[in-house]
Amino acid sequence: MDVDEFNGLVSALRGVAGIRLWADAPLAPFTTIATGGKARLLVSVGETVALAKVLAELEAREVEWFCLGAGSNLLVADQGYSGVVIKLDQSFQYVEGLPIERCTHSRSAGGDMGAGPGESSTAPQVILTVGAGAYLARLATVVAEAGLTGMEHACGIPGSVGGAVAMNAGAYGWCMRDVVREVEIVTASECRWLAAEDLEWGYRFCRLPERSVVTAVRIMLRQGDRETCLASQRAYLRQRREKQPRSVRTFGSAFKNPPGQHAGRLVEAAGLKGMRRGGAEISTVHGNFLVNVGDATTADILALMSMMRQAVERTSGVVLEPEVRLVGCRFPWETEQGDE
Q: How many CB atoms lie within 10 A of CB 307?
A: 17
pTM: 0.89
Per-domain residue ranges of the chain: 3-91, 93-242, 245-339
Q: Quickly state the pLDDT bin for 101 (edges 50, 70, 90).
A: very low
Per-residue pLDDT reduced to its tens digit, 27-38: 999 999 999 999
Determine the length of the chain.
Answer: 340
Annotated catalytic residue within 102, 181, 204, 325: 204
Q: Quickly state the pLDDT bin for 242 (edges 50, 70, 90).
A: confident
Annotated catalytic residue within 72, 212, 232, 253: 253
Average pLDDT over residues 236-246: 87
Average pLDDT over residues 78-107: 82
User: What CATH number belongs to 3-91?
Assistant: 3.30.43.10
CATH topology (fold) of 245-339: 3.90.78
204 classed as catalytic: yes
CB contact at 8 A, 256 and 263 = yes
**Range in 68-77, 112-121, 206-215, 248-257 the model is least confident about:** 112-121
pLDDT at 336: 61
- B/e letters for 274-283, b = 16+ CB within 10 Å, e = fewer, are ebebbbbbbb
Domain 93-242: CATH architecture, name and number where available: 2-Layer Sandwich (3.30)
Share the mean pLDDT of the chain.
Answer: 91
Annotated catalytic residue within 57, 119, 268, 323: 323
CB contact at 8 A, 153 and 235 = no
102 classed as catalytic: no
pLDDT at 317: 97
64 classed as catalytic: no
